[in-house]
């Protein structure tokens, strides 16, 4: 088990490094940041000075080594556009993103899990069919499309909610809905099917024959056994949430790291983009690592092997 954990951690670190390297070189082919930062008709000499100041005159390999080594000394580079330390920019922007993500994650569990359990217990009932039809729509609808639809209905037409920004509780409503509908739907669907697989098992009948009340049988023995696939999907939903928030934040002008990364990519602000992708890759890898390690906790049969 220790060996397994060590291997998983090493693989995770390799994945993060690979993503970092890939994105570092990919950003360089998007164009010259100096063109973006200087006004049209600026002199070649001025451009050259700026290029030297930004460290873009160095050979590509030197730039890579410098920025990679910098990560370990706490030097995350300087934004071309904001002329500020990249880590400071992220420190400012991370909280709106984390707050939104946490709320969405809690909503996903608090709504998706009970819906799935209800649908499984009452399977083939009207409630089951209604929930599952909605879940199919919910899990196929892209969150940015849903976001735009919500803005159109609630902000532009009904004028009930602000279309973007942050500050009041009202600002949270639409981003939360746009980001949670997909994960809630997936979790509900998977909880239902996973629980239905478990419900046919003898051990539930045995627990019933012990005299345990039905709802407790379903929660303590049914759901507990159905949890592994659900945790897996929760993990991948969380990963998707971290990536998906980039688009949804832009739709709602949410001042998080998503918006920061998108605008920086448009402005060819390489250090910000590379660091942003690094943060996302690290979070996704970390979540996946947690999911893999949780299997052992959830199922004693996996723990021993």
Partner 1 sequence: MNTEKELESRGAERKPVLEVHNLKSYYESRDGEVPAVDGVDLTLYPGEIVGIVGESGCGKSTVVRSLLGLMDPVTSRREAGTALFEDRDLFRLSEKELCKVRGKGISMIFQNPLSALDPVYTIGSQIMEILKIHESITDKEARERAIELLHQVNIPSPELRLNQYPHELSGGMQQRVVIAIALACNPKILIADEPTTALDVTVQAQILALIRELRDRLNIAVILITHNMGVVAAICDRMCVMYGGVVVEEGRCEEIFANPRHPYTRGLLAAIPSIDEDKETLYTIPGQVDVLKAPVNFCRFEKRCSHACSKCREEEPQLRGESDHLSRCWVFPDKSSEKTDFEQAKVVAP
Taking CB under 8 A as the binding criterion, the range among 94-102, 189-197, 208-216, 258-266 that sits at the site for partner 1 is 208-216
- 20 contacts 68 by C-beta, under 8 angstroms: yes
Question: Min. distance of Cβ 225 from partner 1 in angstroms?
Answer: 6
Give how many residues touch partner 1 by CB under 8 A.
22
Q: Judged by CB under 8 A, does residue 3 bind partner 1?
A: no
Among 49, 145, 224, 290, binds partner 1 (CB under 8 A): 224
Question: Min. distance of Cβ 194 from partner 1 in angstroms?
Answer: 14
Q: Judged by CB under 8 A, does residue 208 bind partner 1?
A: yes
Task: Look up residue 240 and give its two tokens.
Answer: 């998707």
* Chain residues 87-146 in contact with partner 1, contact rule CB under 8 A: 124
β-partners of residue 78 are 85
Supply the DSSP symbol for 39: P
Question: Min. distance of Cβ 289 from partner 1 in angstroms?
Answer: 22
Q: Judged by CB under 8 A, does residue 298 bind partner 1?
A: yes
User: What CA dihedral angle connects 22, 270, 96 and 243, to 10 degrees?
Assistant: -30
**Nearest residue to 131 via CA among 192, 197, 219:** 192
Compare residues 2 and 304 and give the one whose CB is closer to partner 1: 304
Among 41, 59, 167, 211, binds partner 1 (CB under 8 A): 211
User: What CA dihedral angle connects 113, 114, 120 and 126, to 10 degrees?
Assistant: -130
Compare residues 71 and 196 and give the one whose CB is closer to partner 1: 196
Among 93, 189, 192, 221, binds partner 1 (CB under 8 A): 221
Taking CB under 8 A as the binding criterion, the range among 52-60, 76-84, 184-192, 196-204 that sits at the site for partner 1 is 196-204
Taking CB under 8 A as the binding criterion, the range among 35-43, 93-101, 209-217, 276-284 that sits at the site for partner 1 is 209-217
Question: Any idea which residue has 């918006």 for tokens?
Answer: 259
* Contacts with 75 (C-beta within 8 Å, 6 or more apart), sequence order: none
Among 49, 53, 201, 266, binds partner 1 (CB under 8 A): 201
Taking CB under 8 A as the binding criterion, the range among 87-95, 249-257, 264-272, 297-305 that sits at the site for partner 1 is 297-305
Supply the DSSP symbol for 73: T
Site string for partner 1, 244-283 (x = CB under 8 A): ----------------------------------------
Q: Judged by CB under 8 A, does residue 213 bind partner 1?
A: yes
Q: Judged by CB under 8 A, does residue 219 bind partner 1?
A: no
Q: Judged by CB under 8 A, does residue 300 bind partner 1?
A: yes
In terms of residues, how long is the chain?
305
Supply the DSSP symbol for 78: B
How far apart CA 174 and CA 249 sit, in angstroms, is 11
Alpha helices in the chain (DSSP H): 2-28, 33-37, 44-54, 60-72, 86-107, 113-121, 126-140, 143-150, 169-199, 202-209, 214-216, 224-251, 257-266, 270-298, 300-304
**Nearest residue to 103 via CA among 170, 180, 163, 165:** 180
Q: Where on the chain is the footprint of partner 1 (CB under 8 A)?
A: 124, 201-203, 205-214, 221, 224-225, 298-301, 304
């Amino acid at each position: 088990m220790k060996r397994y954990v060590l291997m998983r951690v090493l693989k995770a670190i390799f994945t993060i490094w690979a993503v970092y390297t890939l994105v570092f070189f990919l950003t360089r082919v998007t164009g010259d940041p100096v063109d973006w930062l200087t006004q049209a008709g600026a002199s070649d000499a001025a451009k050259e000075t700026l290029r030297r100041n930004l460290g873009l005159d160095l050979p590509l390999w030197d730039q890579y080594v410098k920025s990679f080594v910098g990560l370990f000394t706490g030097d995350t580079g300087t934004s071309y556009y904001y002329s500020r330390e990249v880590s400071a920019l992220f420190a400012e922007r991370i909280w709106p993103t984390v707050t939104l993500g946490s709320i969405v994650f809690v909503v996903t569990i608090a709504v998706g899990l009970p819906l799935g359990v209800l649908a499984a217990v009452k399977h083939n009932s009207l409630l089951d069919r209604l929930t599952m039809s909605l879940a199919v729509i919910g899990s196929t609808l892209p969150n940015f499309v849903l976001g735009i639809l919500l803005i159109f209905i609630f902000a532009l037409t009904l004028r009930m909610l602000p279309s973007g920004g942050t500050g009041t509780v009202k600002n949270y409503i639409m981003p939360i809905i746009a980001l949670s509908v997909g994960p809630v739907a997936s979790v509900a669907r998977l909880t239902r099917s996973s629980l239905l697989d478990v419900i046919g098992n003898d051990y539930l009948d045995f627990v019933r024959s012990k005299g345990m009340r039905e709802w407790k049988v379903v929660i303590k023995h049914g759901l507990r056994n159905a949890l592994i696939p659900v945790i897996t999907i929760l993990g991948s939903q969380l990963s998707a949430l971290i990536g998906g928030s980039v688009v949804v934040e832009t739709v709602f002008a949410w001042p998080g790291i998503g918006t920061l990364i998108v605008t920086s990519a448009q402005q060819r602000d390489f250090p910000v983009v590379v660091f942003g992708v690094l943060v996302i890759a690290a979070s996704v890898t970390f979540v996946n690592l947690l999911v893999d390690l949780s299997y052992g906790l959830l199922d004693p049969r996996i723990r021993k092997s």
